[in-house]
Structure 1
Amino acid sequence: MSFEILKAPAARKVLAVSHGRFFEWRKKQLVPLPVQISARSIGYPSDELLAVARARVAGWSDEQIADLVRRMAAKRGALAQMAAEHAGAE
Structure 2
Amino acid sequence: DDDVAAVKEGTLTIHRLKRSMDDPHAREITTLKMEIQQIMKGNYDYFMQKEIFEQPESVVNTMRGRLNFENNSVTLGGIS
Structures share fold, TM-score greater than 0.5? no
Give the structure, 1 or 2, with the largest relative contact order (CA under 8 Å, sep 6 or more): 1
Instruction: Return the TM-score normalized by structure 1.
Output: 0.28
| Structure 1 or 2: more strand by fraction | 2
Q: Specify which structure has the higher proportion of helix.
A: 1
Pair member with larger Rg = 2
